Structure 1
Amino acid sequence: MERKLSRQEASDAVGGDGWRYILGTLQTSVPVGSMARGTGVAADAVAVCGDDADRHLRVDVRPGRVLLALQSTAHAAVTTRDVDLACRISAALGAAGFVTDPEVGAGAPRSVQLLEIAIDALDIAAIRPFWKAVLGYTDEAGADGPVDALVDPVGQGPAVWFQQMDRPRPQRNRIHLDISVPHDEAPWRIEAALAAGGRLKSAGHAPSFWVLADAEGNEACVTTWQGRDG
């Protein structure tokens, strides 16, 4: 019977097969040499998933690699079915000579990741409809409340979520980026950002997130799934 998994369960279940758990999804990257080979990889992944493809699988085909993501659209979460599909996809692609690889570590083009935009607000319910309309976004499955996040219905743009302010802060940015990366990618990403002139503003909530800033104080958070369960 299909059931939702905790972050720890999902991460532990697929790490050995070259997938990473990020923001309620399982993600991997398959290096390919051409768009033609990439479309073949995509077709193989869809074939493995069968009737579950429409409900669980998302595919992004590029000339150099294919990005695969698994999530139960019914639950907006990773389930036991997603883990089963990830393992089966890795086995099938491996037999065909391809590797599922999150590309973690220094020197890799970039690890799998998901981007979110966070907007600080005093009255989230008052501004949420504007952002929903202007972006053409919609509610995430099972999350349609007046302060819930918004998502791109075709899966191209980053999710937008709202952070409650308790008082006006005119000297602080009201919009920042959250870059969600594999838990074992975060140290590399932070090191690179600091080497590029950034500074670490806070590690008080690590490994859930680190707050970084550029030389002028514009903020971004590097986030992982760790530290969020329990």
Structure 2
Amino acid sequence: MGESTSGSGWISAAEFHRAAGVSDWRVTGTGPQAVFTSTSLSHAAGLLAPVITAAERFGVLPDVDVRPEAVVVRIPYRSPEGIPAAATAFAAAVSRAAAQLQLTPDPSLAQSIGIYVAQHSQADVRPFFTAALGYDAFGDTDAVDPLRCGPQLAFNPISGDSPARGRTHFDVFVPADQARTRVDAALAAGGRLVDDAHAPAWWSLASPDNHGVDIASWTDTFD
């Protein structure tokens, strides 16, 4: 038996990006992911066998979304601790296989959507949402679809706000090199900049009718 290639422990997004062979990948709010465009459903599906081989070799549990236009490979957060160290070797192996299959990486398509449920500091609404949506609690403040198909929810208190008044907005996690473009597009489409004090980690925007959307890139750069 050779030495284990699965690795152990956890790494940050910055550590993930410093690894060799992962330039196709970006880290969104739900973990590292890569998008490879394809010419057909069968073309995209050709990556499945190499993904399975790499997953078994490195001890990673990926999600794979096969569409006629593209195949999306994700390394989902299964623990609030971070990205598994073995993710880098797995990602590099998948990228090599995709290149051999002439699947084209397009990091600009990588993203994840989260719903930020803001609640009064004395309220705890997570049990309601997990029951209504069939979600599982994740960490201390979040909730996730057990099959990771739906958006992740985050529950955070508002101090000094009025009881019984809920506020919800979308978190859109995009690659760090795409965030400013996404912000500019939303503003050009009629949006309003609410707060850029935390940019480039995130920008807070409002729609023409004042619904909140945060464009966030910090998940792709944290160390």
Q: What TM-score do the two structures reach when normalised by structure 1? A: 0.84
For 1:24-63, list aligned pairs within 5 A. Answer: 25-50=31-56, 52=58, 55-63=60-68
Between the aligned residues of both structures, percent identity stands at: 29
How far apart are residue 30 of structure 1 and its match? Answer: 0.9
Flag as ranges the 4+ runs of structure 1 deviating above 4 A.
226-230
2: CA distance between counterparts of 1:138 and 1:67?
23
Spell out, residue by residue over 1:139-167, the C-alpha distance to the aligned partner (whole angstroms, 9 max, x if none).
22xx2x4xx20000011100111121112
| Aligned-partner residue type, residue 134 of structure 1 | A
- Unmatched tracts of structure 1, length 5 or more: 105-110
Match in the other structure for 2:4: none
Query: More displaced, 29-38 or 39-48?
Result: 39-48
1: CA distance between counterparts of 2:213 and 2:36?
28
1:203 lines up with 2:201 in the alignment: no
Count how many residue pairs are aligned between Structure 1 and Structure 2: 216
In structure 2, the CA distance between the partners of 1:87 and 1:15, relative to structure 1 (3 Å rule), is closer
How far apart are residue 187 of structure 1 and its match? Answer: 0.9
User: RMSD between aligned alpha carbons?
Assistant: 2.5
2: CA distance between counterparts of 1:207 and 1:218?
21
- Unmatched tracts of structure 2, length 5 or more: 1-6
Q: 1:185 aligns with which of 157, 168, 178?
A: 178
Secondary structure of the corresponding residue to residue 115 of structure 2: strand
How far apart are residue 98 of structure 1 and its match? Answer: 2.1
Q: 2:158 aligns with which of 151, 159, 165?
A: 165
Q: Is the Cα contact below 8 Å between 1:207 and 1:226 reproduced in 2?
A: no
Secondary structure of the corresponding residue to residue 149 of structure 2: coil
Match in the other structure for 1:107: none
How far apart are residue 97 of structure 1 and its match? Answer: 2.1
Match in the other structure for 1:108: none
Secondary structure of the corresponding residue to residue 200 of structure 2: coil
| Aligned-partner residue type, residue 85 of structure 2 | T
Spell out, residue by residue over 1:9-65, the C-alpha distance to the aligned partner (whole angstroms, 9 max, x if none).
123336853111112511111111111222222222212222556x42110011110
Secondary structure of the corresponding residue to residue 221 of structure 1: strand
Between 1 and 2, higher relative CO (CA 8 Å, sep ≥ 6) is seen in: 2
How far apart are residue 120 of structure 1 and its match? Answer: 1.1
How far apart are residue 184 of structure 1 and its match? Answer: 0.4
Match in the other structure for 1:86: 91
Q: 1:20 aligns with which of 18, 26, 33?
A: 26
Q: Is the Cα contact below 8 Å between 1:173 and 1:218 reproduced in 2?
A: no
Match in the other structure for 2:8: 2
Q: What TM-score do the two structures reach when normalised by structure 2? A: 0.86
Match in the other structure for 2:3: none
